[in-house]
Amino acid sequence: MKPYSKRAQKITASTTMRIDAQYKQMLAEGQDVVGFGAGETDFNTPEHVKKAGILAIQNNLTRYTAPAGTEELRKAIAAKLLRDRDLEYAPNEIVVSSGGKHMFYITLSCLLNPGDEVILPAPYWVSYKEQIEMCGGIAVIVDCDENRNFDLNADDIARAITPKTKAIIINSPSNPTGRMVSRNVLEKVAKLCVEHKIFAISDEIYDNLVYEGKFTSFATLSPQIKDLTILINGVSKSYAMTGWRIGYAACNRELATLMASYQSHSTSSPATMAQKAAVAALDGDQSCVEEVRQAFIQRRDVFLKKAAEISNIKIIPPQGAFYIMMSVEAFVGKTMYGKVINNADDFAELLLQRAGVAVVPCGGFGAPNYLRWGYATSTENIIKGLDRLKGFIDGK
């Protein structure tokens, strides 16, 4: 083994990015393939947001900003949290980063000491576990019951708490399940956090993409839990701005100061013109967000109706985000097209090779017999992909 970092060599490549790269390579080669892998919408960034970014470049707003982000953007984020969630944060309690993923990494870097434990409900977004370990922490996996649609259970969380527990991760609506955590369960978890002085990292990146039930922001549950919560969000999903790389965290002032200082020695501030575009997104007309939400409701319903026609699969109905979990457990241990299916990874690889359908196997998400289908694609592609899945299963 070469003398590289042992910690780096333990990192598993992102399943999502690997599948998406393979899909895009096949497309570039002219192959007939339908993709359901990437965690980004197929909508374009709104025109007024693009214009704000272009204008920033034309006005030479291309230099460094404060490590925590511009005052203007942090004020826009504070206004958004007050408007949408009735949460009051001062600009110096907000840190802007180069995307929600980077914000999560900065948060863990500023919270964890070697050996600290982070409670991680499964299924989980693939980067959570890797980043916990990259920061010297230990991910304590709490498996959510698939017979309860993978919904979080507070009693399971309570049993996982030890003297080494530093934080818990809440992701609602969830990637990959699309499920939301109910207010009742969140209140029980919040009580545990306050009682044991545990930080809550609440990933709320899909907060505007909710189709059933009422979204509850974790920090709203009490002043005590707000002080322990690191609320992470961004503009990527709601405004189709994945490539602009703007994420943010809202938390207590002491931690925000520490996070800004840490970031100043790593990436420094996010791109200045992207910050200008994010201000336009947050301060501007929000009808574009509702239009996207309505489109996803329609796509989700088409997917669920079409999937009901396919035998031997099980669907976890999503309440938000734009993902659907599909169990292929019925095929595990069986031979398909001359290959033994040991898990969802085998099924996904064969589905791509034989039917030209790219989906994400959820072994890296803590659910080895499930596939994640992203319905951030056209209705036509949803129908085509599920028709191909049906033919693949039926041997046609």
Give dist(CA 307, CA 390) in Å, integer. Answer: 9
344, 363 contact by CB (below 8 A): yes
239, 214 contact by CB (below 8 A): no
Eight-state DSSP code of residue 178: -
* pLDDT at position 40: 86
Closest CA to 168 of 149, 183, 182, 153: 153
Instruction: State the DSSP string of 231-249.
Output: EEEESTTTTT-GGG--EEE
Residue with tokens 């088409």: 302
In one letter, which amino acid is 364? G
Give dist(CA 169, CA 132) in Å, integer. Answer: 10
* pLDDT at position 38: 75
In one letter, which amino acid is 34? V
Closest CA to 93 of 128, 64, 63, 69: 69
Closest CA to 193 of 157, 153, 217: 157
Burial of 19 (0-12, 13-18, 19+ CB in 10 A): buried
Residue 121's Cβ-side half-sphere holds a number of Cα atoms within 13 Å equal to 30
232, 104 contact by CB (below 8 A): yes
* pLDDT at position 392: 97
How many C-beta atoms lie closer than 10 Å to residue 213's C-beta?
14
Give dist(CA 27, CA 24) in Å, integer. Answer: 5
| Token reading at 271 | 């791109």
Give dist(CA 382, CA 42) in Å, integer. Answer: 13
- The stretches of 247-308 forming alpha helices (DSSP H) are 253-264, 272-283, 287-307
227, 198 contact by CB (below 8 A): no
Give dist(CA 396, CA 380) in Å, integer. Answer: 20
Q: How far is CA 344 from CA 321, 324, 332, 356, in A?
A: 22, 14, 8, 16
288, 81 contact by CB (below 8 A): no
Q: Give the rounded distance of the alpha carbon of 92 from its chain centre.
A: 25
* pLDDT at position 226: 98
66, 198 contact by CB (below 8 A): no
Give dist(CA 276, CA 324) in Å, integer. Answer: 33
Angle CA(20)–CA(24)–CA(28) in degrees, nearest 5? 170
In one letter, which amino acid is 330? A
Eight-state DSSP code of residue 342: -
Which helix H or strand E contains 385, and what residues bound it? Answer: helix 379-394
Which helix H or strand E contains 6, and what residues bound it? Answer: helix 6-9
All structural domains of the chain, each given as residue ranges with its CATH number in brackets, are: 6-44+288-394 (3.90.1150.10), 47-284 (3.40.640.10)
Residues 6+ away with beta carbon under 8 Å from 287 = none
* pLDDT at position 1: 54
pLDDT, one tens digit for every residue, the chain (396 residues): 578 888 888 888 776 777 777 888 888 899 999 999 878 889 999 999 999 999 999 999 999 999 999 999 999 999 999 999 999 999 999 999 999 999 999 999 999 999 999 999 999 999 999 999 999 999 999 999 999 999 999 999 999 999 999 999 999 999 999 999 999 999 999 999 999 999 999 999 999 999 999 999 999 999 999 999 999 999 999 999 999 999 999 999 999 999 999 999 999 999 999 999 999 999 999 999 999 999 999 999 999 999 999 999 999 999 999 999 999 999 999 999 999 999 999 999 999 999 999 999 999 999 999 999 999 999 999 999 999 999 999 987
| Token reading at 208 | 């505007």
* pLDDT at position 3: 84
152, 180 contact by CB (below 8 A): no
How many C-beta atoms lie closer than 10 Å to residue 299's C-beta?
20
Residues 6+ away with beta carbon under 8 Å from 136 = 7, 112, 113, 114, 115, 116
Q: How far is CA 118 from CA 195, 205, 349, in A?
A: 16, 20, 32
